[in-house]
Chains A and B, each alone.
Chain A
C-alpha cells in the first residue's frame, strides 16, 4: 500500500451517473480520502456548463447503464479548450465491453470495471490527477522556455509523446527520466490491474502479472508462487523473463525454506540492491555470472494469511518508487488470488450441488411471490424437460402438471392465499412431458422471507417415477402371485366344490321329479307342486352362489379397498369348504362377534387368506384320532383401529422354534407343497395394513390370528402443513 501523503485537499472530482445510489460507497471513500466530490446526472444538459464553471481535477463517468452515452460527454469535454485537459475516467461493468477505439477517440484516459477494487480506483484517480498536474507544470515550464505544446489528448501514449517532445526542447533529462519512470509505473499498474480483472484462471492471471513485472520494471525474471490452504507449501504458478519453466527446482518450496519460503513464513518482504553480498542469496556464482544486481520478494498476504509470494531479480538497482509500486501491487495480486480462490470454491460447490441434484433427481426452484420471479436449478429444467435457459414462469410449470392433478396445485394456491402466505407444502403429483410420457414427482416447498421481508417459496422437487413404477410393478407381481396361489387352492378343492354344488342339484332333481308325479293323474296336487317349485328356485340360487363365489376367487383382483363385514366374508368361504371339513371329520364352529366394525379390504384377497388358513387347519388335524377334530373361527373388535379374526385347530401343532419360519416363502412340511400359502397370506395382510401371526396353544393345536384395519373415510393424498 503506497503511503498516502497527507494533503489538505487532494482535488475535486466530478461524477456523472444515472443512479447516484450505486456509487455511494465510492463517494464515501473518495471523500474520506480527501477529495471533494460533486455529483451530476448524466442526462441533464447544463452538465458541461457546470464543468466549465467548477473545473474539477478529474471527471468520472458511469457508463454501466445501457443507453447512456458517456462517450459523447467525454468528446464534448475534450472539444472544449477550457475542459480539454481534465482527465476522464469511465466506470463500466465487466460484461460491457468498452469500445476501446471509441474510448480513445473520445479521449478517455482510463476505465475502472465494476465490481471494482476501491484501492485500485483510488490510486488510478490519484495517478491521473498527479499526471495532469505534472503536465500542467511541464507546460508552464515549457511555456517559459517558449515551447509550443502539442494539442493535449486524454491517452497516456499521447501524453507521453507530448512530454517527450517537450523534453527534447528543454533538455531536462532528469525530469524526463522521472516522468518516463512514472509513466512506466502507471502502465505497469494498469497492466496488473487489467490482468487481475480478467476472467481467466489463476495461473494465467499471475503469469500476466509476472510478465508485466518483467516488461515494465525491466526485471531479469519474475516469479509468483501461491500457497496451499494450510500455509505449508508454495507452488510456482508463474514465471516470466529468462526462466519460464514452472516445474523446475523452485516449483515447490516449503514454507521457511530458501529465501522465498522464508518470505512466506515470516510474511515480510526481502529487498536488496546488492545481491552479491546478501546473506540470503545462496547461489552467488550464478548471480555473478548472470549479472544479477537486485532482488525483491514480497509476501502476498490477505487478512494475515500468506496466500503466496512474488519475487523478481533485476540487473539494475531498484528505485524506491519501484519498490513502492511493487508493494502496492503485491497487495492487489494477493486480493486477486484470494478472489480467484473464492470464485473457484463457489464454482466447485455449485458444481457439487448441481451434480448432487442430478444424482438424486431433485431439482430446486425459488419463487418470489411479489414479482413472480422464478429461478430454477439445472436439474429442474431436466425434470420438467424445459430447454435450459428458457424463462420459467408459473404458467409453464402449470402446463406440465397432469390435468388430473392440477387441482392439487390450485388447492395449494388457495391455502396459500387464505393463509396470507407462508405455509409449508408437501405433495405428490404427476407431470406430463411434451412427448406425452408421465413422471411422478414429490415436491416440498418452504416459505421464507428475505432481507426485504419479501415472501419467497423455495421448493425441492424429486422425480420419483422410477420408484413409483417399481412399486406398481411389485404390486402387480404380488397380485399375480396371489392369484396363482388362489387358483392352486381352488384346484385342490375341486372335489369338495363339486360336491357342494351337487347337493342343491340333487334337491332340484328330486323336487322336479316329485312335481311331475304330483301333477300327473286325475287329481293333480297343485299345492305340493308349487312348494316343490319354490324349493327348486331356492336350490338353484344356492348352486348359483357357489359358482359365483368360485368365479370371484378365480378372478385377478385389482379391487380397491371396500367396506366389508368380516363375518360375512368369512362365512362365504366356509360355505365352500363344508364338504371338505365333513370328509375329514372336522367340526367347524363359528364364534363371530355379534357387532363387528366394518373393515377396509379386498374381499377376494381376505377370503383367500381364510381359505388358506382353514385348509391348513384341516390338514393339520389329519390323523388325529384321540381327540375331536375341531376348527373354531372367531372374530372380535380388538381395539380402536383393527378387527381381529382367529382360526384355531386341534391338530398336531407347530414347534415353537418354527412358529415364525412358517411364514417364510418356500417353507413347507408337505411333500409336493410349494410353501407359498402362508407367505402370500402374510403379505396380503401386510398390504392391507394388518398382521398375521401364529401362536401355539397349550392344548394340542395352533391358533392363527390376523388383524384387518377398520374402514375409515379416506383423506386427500396431498397435505398442507402449517408453519
Chain B
C-alpha cells in the first residue's frame, strides 16, 4: 500500500460534519498529499487564492450554498479545480447533474478508500493537465505577440492556404519578402510545419483570411 507520489498536491475538503472532515483529512495525508478543510461553501470561496488546491472533495449537502451550487459558482468565476462529490444520500438526479457539469466522480459515504484515492488521483492528474494547458497557451500567446504587425498579417494569409505568389500580390511585396517573413514566423512561433502553424492559429483563435477562398 502507499503509492509513491511524484508531485505534491493540495486537496480541499468541504463538508460541514467534523467527523467526516477529520477522517478525510487523515486519509488524504496518508496518501502523501496535503489537505485543507472548510465547513461550508462560503468558507471555501473566501479562501485566499495564493495557491489554489488541485482537487476538491465536496459534500452535496452544505448549509447555505449547496455542493452543486458551489460547482456552478466555481465555473462562473473560472475556478477550474476538479471536483469529487461525496454524499450520504445516493441521489441519482444530483449525480447526473454533477457529472454533466464536469465533476470527476460522485461517491457515497462511507466512502471506499480505493475509490476515493483513485478519484483523487484522476482529479489531480486532470488538474495538472489543465495547468499545463494554461501554461502552454500563455507561451503561445507570448510568441504571437512577439510577431510584428506585418508578420501577423502574413501569418493569417499563410494559414488560409494562400501561395507565396498570391500573398505577395495581395500585400504588394515581393515573393522573396514573403518567404523572408514566413521564415521569421515559423521560427518565432516554433512551428515545425504548416500544419503545426495552422493548429497554433486555431488555438489562438486567429481568424483565417477568407479572400483566398473567394478566388
Contacts and interface: CB of A to CB of B under 8 A. Distances in A.
Interface of A: 495, 498-499, 502-511, 513-518, 520-521, 528, 531-532, 535, 538-539, 542, 579, 582-583, 585, 587
A510 B24 contact: yes
Interface string B59-70: 001110000000
Interface string B123-143: 000000000000000000000
Contacts of A498: 88
Contact of A539 (B19, B27, B31): B19
Interface stretch (B96-104, B106-114, B146-154, B177-185): B106-114
Contact of A509 (B22, B23, B63): B23
Interface in B1-47: 1-2, 16-17, 19-20, 22-24, 26-27, 29-31
Pick the 4 closest A-B CB pairs, nearest first: A510-B23, A507-B19, A513-B113, A517-B30
B110 A579 contact: no
7 contacts: A503-B17, A503-B19, A503-B109, A509-B23, A510-B110, A516-B1, A579-B88
Contacts of A535: 19, 22-23, 26
Contact of B26 (A495, A514, A582, A587): A514
Interface of B: 1-2, 16-17, 19-20, 22-24, 26-27, 29-31, 61-63, 88-89, 109-111, 113
Given A515-B26, A515-B30, A520-B1, 17 more contacts: A502-B109, A503-B20, A506-B20, A506-B109, A509-B113, A510-B23, A511-B26, A517-B1, A521-B1, A528-B26, A531-B26, A535-B19, A535-B23, A535-B26, A538-B19, A582-B61, A585-B63
B30 A518 contact: yes
Contacts, number: 90
A532 B61 CA distance: 25
A504 B18 CA distance: 9
Given A502-B88, A505-B110, A520 B19 contact: no
A542 B19 contact: yes
A514 B30 contact: yes
B61 A583 contact: yes
Contacts of B20: 503, 506-507, 510
Nearest to B26: A514
Contacts of A583: 61
A579 B63 CA distance: 10
A503 B23 CA distance: 10
A528 B35 CA distance: 14
Contacts of B17: 503, 506-507
A684 to B, nearest CB: 31
Given A511-B23, A528-B30, A506 B63 contact: no
B3 to A, nearest CB: 10
A499 B23 CA distance: 16
Contacts of B88: 498-499, 502-503, 506, 579
A492 B109 CA distance: 22
A514 B19 contact: no
B2 A520 contact: yes
B110 A509 contact: yes
Contacts of B63: 582, 585, 587
A530 to B, nearest CB: 11
Contacts of B111: 506, 509-510
Contacts of A502: 88, 109-110
Contacts of A517: 1-2, 27, 30-31
A498 B31 CA distance: 29
Contacts of B23: 506-511, 514, 535, 539
Contacts of B30: 513-515, 517-518, 528
A539 B2 CA distance: 25
B42 to A, nearest CB: 13
A508 B89 CA distance: 18
Nearest to A495: B89
B26 A508 contact: no
Nearest to A525: B30
Contacts of B26: 510-511, 514-515, 528, 531-532, 535
A47 to B, nearest CB: 113
Contacts of A505: 109-110
A521 B113 contact: no
Nearest to B19: A507
Nearest to A531: B26
A582 B89 CA distance: 13
Nearest to B114: A513
Contact of A510 (B1, B2, B27, B62): B27
Contacts of B109: 502-503, 505-506
Contacts of A507: 17, 19-20, 22-23
B131 to A, nearest CB: 27
A481 B199 CA distance: 77
A513 B109 CA distance: 14
A300 to B, nearest CB: 103
B40 to A, nearest CB: 11
Contacts of A538: 19
Contacts of A511: 22-23, 26-27
Contacts of A528: 26, 29-30
Contact of A513 (B16, B22, B27, B61): B27
Nearest to A628: B64
Contacts of A516: 1
B110 A508 contact: yes
A528 B27 CA distance: 10
Contacts of B27: 510-511, 513-514, 517
A607 to B, nearest CB: 22
Nearest to A516: B1
User: Which among B16, B17, B24, B109 has the highest number of chain A CB atoms within 10 Å?
Assistant: B17
Contacts of A521: 1-2
A90 B197 CA distance: 159
